[in-house]
Amino acid sequence: MTEPRTVRIVVADDHQLVRDGFAELLDTQPDFTVIATASDGAEAVRICKELRPDLVLMDVRMPRMDGIEATRQLVGLGSEAPRILVLTTFDLDEHVYDALRAGASGFLLKDGTAERLFDAVRVIAAGEALLAPGITRRLISEFATQRPVSPASSASLRSLTPRETEVLRLVTEGLSNLEIADRLTITEETVKTHVGRVLSKLGLRDRTQAVIAAYESGLVVPHRA
Amino acid sequence: MEASPRALAVVGSTLAVLGLAEVFARAAIGRLDVESALVLALVVVGSTLPMALSSATTAALLATAASVLSLAGFHLLSVASAAAVLICLYRLGGSPDRTRPPRYFAIALATPFLVLALIGPSPPSSEWAALTVVLAALAPVAAIGGIAVQAGREVQENRAARQVIADTLVDHTARGERARIARELHDVVAHHISMVAVQAEAARLAVPGLPAAGAQRLSAIGDTAREALVEMRRLLGVLRDDAGVDVADRHPQPGLDQVTELVDDARESSGCPTRLILRGAPIALDPHVELVAYRIVQEALTNSRRHAAGAAVDVELVYADSELRLRVRDNGPGPNPMAPLGGHGLVGMQERAFAVGGTVRTGPAPGGGYSVHAVLPAKLEDLA
């Protein structure tokens, strides 16, 4: 499960305590290396274009350019773009939702334990599962329903085969590839193929975007009123 | 400021008496013959007593009719009757009745006297002439005077009502403003506490050569900061609700009723089988005890989620004698021998239980997994 090479990380936060603290923590792990820190969104984008990290820890609120705009710009780099893990103090933050929609892969509370931080970085870097599926789904379902359903996403959903729609639904429930393989009694490899096809058919970056698309298109309806 | 019926009755009767006295005096000094005296007496009664009637319109109508008839037909009027007419017209003009417009009717009732004054008496009599002219002048004044006073009263009432509305609006805005300020303060405080947590973690892991005791303490500091943030997030929910709404604390301290919610939340967010088992007849517990029980379940569930992700969890509440026995058990990997002791909010659980006279035991569960076992007294009076 561990990556053969180390995950190259950039930490972007306007508070030095957070930058230094997280950098120190991450550097204690053999599979991580922090290559740079940034104190606002613009600096983060510049550094990422130059150094091409694998993952960026991005604070949502920063001066000059905030985490949402920086995410948007980084995602625009296409296949060269790093994965983005959003940092926040509040768990039901609409800004976090906006960052997810802009292309971030997951979010993390700043006050979590070190173990949680390491786990989050590994999950996002691997891309096999949603990070903190329960909380992420709750956030998405809370805010997705406040936005109007976009007809474009409903249309592209129809291009999925029944099996692919089934896989998408299970991804939206927060299941990892392994869990989906168990549920549908197929191999993990097959699940990965299906997920890959779903993402490319819908033009989505990762599973988090798939969950957002599912809620926003109305494919999945939150059951908590 | 409508005159009371009793006052009107008194004034009316007094004027009647005065008027009759006047008639009698005039008749006595030979200025009035018997017929005229009788007519005048009737007019006096007919113009003064109606004042006591509850309807201002009828009173004014009768007083005016009696006086006009007397002036036009008999060229006679007593001073008392004149006074009565003026009083009735003033009262009619100032009546607060809005359903019919009686006020302007008062002005109408003043006009016959003007007409009479203009037409002139026949035969002319200086006393008659003087009284008619005076009445013609004063009647409209009385009517308009009444109208003016009532109008002034209404302006006063409107002003008072507008003030009350303005005050309420200011109060409402102030409350909304306070809620906004409270939210901002909350954000600032939450940020600082977050920093404490980050620092504690960084120190715990990244300081070289830190002894185990130090790591333990830092772990406890981090846990406390995280607990504080959980409470702050709940506070933020209350502040969001409160912005602009006058509401007493809508989020009372949780008790055992809310444990079902905790279990549901845990089941939903972890996706693992989580059961709530109740045994024994539920008895009423001291609210402090209920709160402690809730917090213990909350902490235990959080720990299970964190350290035994994917494991099934049982939350068992047993009501027995005068105590509540509470057990949260998971079938995960069990306690980590490498983990620093005293972290993970266990100290907090023990302190809470101790504060209400109960006990908490944590450790490996028989058959594998981790177990949190608490025994709490039902009532605080059971403390020695």
A73-130 tens-digit pLDDT: 999 888 888 999 999 887 777 888 889 889 899 999 888 889 989 999 998 998 877 7
B198 and A27: CB-CB below 8 Å? no
Q: Higher pLDDT residue, B58 or A133?
A: B58
B233 close contact with A: CB closer than 8 A: yes
Q: Which chain B residues touch A21 with a CB distance below 8 Å? A: 195, 198-199, 201-202
Nearest-CB residue to A24 (from B202, B229, B306): B202
* Shortest distance, CA A163 to any CA of chain B (angstroms): 23
Residues in CB range of A90: below 8 A, 6 or more apart: A96, B190, B233, B236
Confidence of residue A27 (pLDDT cuts 50, 70, 90): very high
Q: How far apart are CA B232 and CA B185, in angstroms?
A: 11
pLDDT tens-digit readout, B84-119? 989 988 888 888 766 556 678 888 888 888 888 877
- Say how many CB pairs under 8 Å bridge A and B: 66
Q: How far apart are CA B108 and CA B126, in angstroms?
A: 26
Let me know: does B267 contact B274? Beta carbons within 8 Å. yes
User: What is residue B369's DSSP assignment?
Assistant: S
Mean predicted confidence (pLDDT) in B124-141: 78
Confidence of residue A57 (pLDDT cuts 50, 70, 90): very high
Identify each DSSP E strand in chain A by its residue range: 7-12, 32-38, 55-59, 83-88, 106-109
Mean predicted confidence (pLDDT) in B167-177: 75
Least confident of A19-23, A38-42, B180-184, B207-211: B180-184
pLDDT at residue A224 in the model? 46
Beta partners for residue B359, in sequence order: B375
pLDDT at residue A53 in the model? 95
pLDDT at residue B338 in the model? 59
pLDDT at residue A74 in the model? 94
Q: What is the mean pLDDT of chain B?
A: 81
Residues in CB range of B164: below 8 A, 6 or more apart: none
Mean predicted confidence (pLDDT) in B358-368: 87
A110 and B194: CB-CB below 8 Å? yes
Mean predicted confidence (pLDDT) in B213-233: 90
Q: Which chain A residues touch B226 with a CB distance below 8 Å? A: 111-113
Q: Higher pLDDT residue, B254 or B258?
A: B258
Which residue in B95, B113, B114, B115 sits closest to B105, CA to CA?
A: B95
Let me know: does A174 contact A136? Beta carbons within 8 Å. yes
Nearest-CB residue to B268 (from A15, A109, A134): A134
Which residue in B188, B187, B112, B182 sits closest to B143, CA to CA?
A: B112
Which residue in A136, A157, A134, A129 sits closest to A216, CA to CA?
A: A157
pLDDT reading at B330 higher than 70: yes
pLDDT reading at B178 higher than 80: no
Long-range contact set of residues A204-207: C-beta below 8 Å, sequence gap at least 24: A205/A75, A205/A103, A205/A105, A206/A83, A206/A105, A206/A127, A207/A105, A207/A127, A207/A129, A207/A130, A207/A171
pLDDT reading at A48 higher than 90: yes
A29, A94, A113: which to substitute to probe chain B, counting the most B Cβ within 10 Å? A113
pLDDT reading at B156 higher than 70: yes
Percent of chain A with pLDDT over 70: 92
Let me know: does B252 contact B238? Beta carbons within 8 Å. no
Beta partners for residue B279, in sequence order: B318
Which residue in A121, A135, A61, A59 sits closest to A92, CA to CA?
A: A135
A182 close contact with B: CB closer than 8 A: no
State how beta strands A106-109 and A32-38 pair.
Answer: unpaired
Which residue in B88, B85, B16 sits closest to B53, CA to CA?
A: B88
B270 and A134: CB-CB below 8 Å? yes
A81 close contact with B: CB closer than 8 A: no
Among all residues of chain B, which has the CA nearest to that of A223? B268
Q: How far apart are CA B315 and CA A209, in angstroms?
A: 35
pLDDT at residue A225 in the model? 36
B187 close contact with A: CB closer than 8 A: yes
- ipTM of model over 0.85: no
Nearest-CB residue to B201 (from A113, A173, A174): A113
Q: Which chain B residues touch A178 with a CB distance below 8 Å? A: none
Q: Which chain B residues touch A91 with a CB distance below 8 Å? A: 233
Q: What is the mean pLDDT of chain A?
A: 85
pLDDT at residue B247 in the model? 33
Structure tokens at B196: 């404490």
pLDDT reading at B251 higher than 50: no
My answer on whether omega of the bond before B123 falls inside 30° of 0, hence cis, is yes
B235 close contact with A: CB closer than 8 A: no
Q: How far apart are CA B195 and CA A156, in angstroms?
A: 43
Let me know: does B40 contact B32? Beta carbons within 8 Å. yes
B201 close contact with A: CB closer than 8 A: yes
Confidence of residue B364 (pLDDT cuts 50, 70, 90): confident
pLDDT reading at B192 higher than 70: yes
B194 and A117: CB-CB below 8 Å? no
Which residue in A9, A15, A117, A97 sits closest to A62, CA to CA?
A: A15
A134 and B236: CB-CB below 8 Å? no
Confidence of residue B126 (pLDDT cuts 50, 70, 90): low
Let me know: does A159 contact A205? Beta carbons within 8 Å. no
A20 and B233: CB-CB below 8 Å? no
Q: Which chain A residues touch B236 with a CB distance below 8 Å? A: 90
Which residue in B290, B220, B238 sits closest to B262, CA to CA?
A: B290
pLDDT tens-digit readout, A117-170? 999 999 899 887 778 777 787 788 777 766 666 665 666 777 888 888 889 988
Q: Which chain A residues touch B205 with a CB distance below 8 Å? A: 24-25, 28, 114
B310 close contact with A: CB closer than 8 A: no
Q: Higher pLDDT residue, B33 or B83?
A: B83
Residues in CB range of A131: below 8 A, 6 or more apart: A85, A105, A106, A107, A108, A120, A123, A124, A208
Among all residues of chain A, which has the CA nearest to that of B188? A89
Looking up tokens 């096999």, which residue turns up? A128
Let me know: does B266 contact B259? Beta carbons within 8 Å. no
Percent of chain B with pLDDT over 90: 11
A90 close contact with B: CB closer than 8 A: yes
The torsion angles phi and psi of A108, rounded to 5 degrees, stand at -140, 135
Looking up tokens 């005890």, which residue turns up? B289
Let me know: does A134 contact B270? Beta carbons within 8 Å. yes
Confidence of residue B42 (pLDDT cuts 50, 70, 90): confident
A114 and B236: CB-CB below 8 Å? no
B193 close contact with A: CB closer than 8 A: yes
pLDDT at residue A146 in the model? 67
Give me the sheet containing B370-377, strands edge to edge.
B274-279, B313-320, B323-330, B370-377, B359-364
Q: How far apart are CA B37 and CA B29, in angstroms?
A: 12
B226 and A174: CB-CB below 8 Å? no
Least confident of A132-136, B39-43, B204-208: A132-136
Q: How far apart are CA B92 and CA B145, in angstroms?
A: 10
B202 and A25: CB-CB below 8 Å? yes
Q: How far is CA B250 from CA B190, B235, B253, B254, B325, in A?
A: 22, 11, 10, 11, 29
Among all residues of chain A, which has the CA nearest to that of B309? A132
Among all residues of chain B, which has the CA nearest to that of A114? B201
pLDDT at residue B123 in the model? 53
User: What is residue A187's DSSP assignment?
Assistant: -
